[in-house]
Amino acid sequence: NAGVMQNPRHLVRRRGQEARLRCSPMKGHSHVYWYRQLPEEGLKFMVYLQKENIIDESGMPKERFSAEFPKEGPSILRIQQVVRGDSAAYFCASSLPGQGQETQYFGPGTRLLVL
Amino acid sequence: SQQGEEDPQALSIQEGENATMNCSYKTSINNLQWYRQNSGRGLVHLILIRSNEREKHSGRLRVTLDTSKKSSSLLITASRAADTASYFCATDAWNAGGTSYGKLTFGQGTILTVHP
């Protein structure tokens, strides 16, 4: 059973460009979470999605950031018009649905560098 | 301290010694989880302890939870050089509906260095 997969692993963008980060959850997992980690810091929650639904986006900036988890295909975190402050590691995690299934399994992350 | 804040920030020990890391949090929780992160890598889930549990073991790991003090500790016994990593605690809170919020709140982490 493959783990959570993220691509690309590294992404370099110039200011003003768009960044698209992809996450494929573990097989059977229908809950996806995105977190951001700045250097030397812990992870900060951004958004929680289930298939075709955004459950909680309280940690996501109101502008330029969006996330989706379509019925088919990976979850996408999209950052429009990137700025230098968006440089960070972005981690995706997935979990099984239901009580007692709260363990979140993390992917290797996408390291975004904005020049 | 922030929700899920670890103490100490850095810990340096010799192989074979035990390592203890502490975590404090502020709000009521559903569960508390410990993760390990090697430099520049993703997070590896170590152990989950629920709010109604007081202690849990997994191999060389022992986790305790004191909900009255809103604190948890992670003990790694007989440490190895391969245990060198950052360790994070993360809390998962209840929502008004009595289910998990689903989002984890992480602390800043403890950087553990185990010298051979």
Kind plus residue range of the DSSP H or E element containing A23: strand A19-24
Average pLDDT over residues B10-24: 95
Decide if A68 contacts A76 (C-beta within 8 A).
yes
Average pLDDT over residues B15-24: 96
Nearest to A4 by CA among A20, A25, A27: A25
pLDDT tens digits, one per residue of A67-102:
999 999 999 999 999 999 999 999 999 998 766 667
Give the Cα separation of A32 and A94 in Å (integer): 4
- Cross-chain residue pair A31–B105, CB shorter than 8 Å: no
pLDDT for position B2: 38
CB contact under 8 A, B103 and A41: no
Q: Do B88 and A43 touch (CB under 8 A)?
A: yes
* Mutate which: A6, A26, A34, A45, vs B, most B CBs within 10 A: A45
How far does the CA of residue A58 sit from the closest CA of chain B (Å)? 10
Average pLDDT for B69-81: 96
Residues of B in contact with A35 (CB under 8 A): 104, 106
Give the Cα separation of B50 and A21 in Å (integer). Answer: 32
Provide the CA B30 distance to its chain's centre, in angstroms.
15
Tell me if A102 sits within 8 A of B48, measured CB to CB: yes
Q: Is the peptide bond before A25 cis (omega within 30 degrees of 0)?
A: no
CA dist B77 → A64, B18, B74, B114 (Å): 46, 4, 10, 12
Give me the half-sphere count of Cα atoms (radius 13 Å) on the Cβ side of residue B12: 1
Q: Which pLDDT value is given to residue B4?
A: 61
Q: What are all long-range contacts of A65-70, with beta carbons under 8 Å and residues at least 24 apart?
A: A67/A34, A69/A32
Residue to test with chain B: of A32, A102, A112, most B Cβ within 10 A? A102
For the cut 80, the answer to whether the pLDDT of residue A7 exceeds it is: yes
Chain A hits for B39, CB-CB cut-off 8 Å, are none
Cβ(B115)–Cβ(B81) below 8 Å: yes
Structure confidence at residue A96 (pLDDT)? 86
* pLDDT tens readout for residues A14-44: 999 999 999 999 998 989 999 999 887 889 9
| Distance separating alpha carbons of residues B107 and B109, to the nearest angstrom | 5
The partner residue sitting opposite B48, judged by closest CB among A31, A43, A103, is: A103
CA distance A81 to chain B (A): 26
Per-residue pLDDT at A1 exceeds 60: no
Residues 6+ apart with CB under 8 A from A72: none
Q: What value does the mean pLDDT take over residues A44-68?
A: 93
Is B34 in CB contact (< 8 Å) with chain A?
Answer: no
Bridge partners of residue A106, in order along the sequence: A93
Residue B1's pLDDT band, with cuts at 50, 70 and 90, is very low
Q: So what's the pLDDT on residue B27?
A: 84
Cβ contacts (< 8 Å) between B92 and chain A: which residues? Answer: 102
* Residues in A touching B42 (Cβ below 8 Å): 91, 106-109
Which chain A residue has its CA at the smallest distance from B38's CA?
A: A108
Name the amino acid, one letter, at A64.
Answer: R
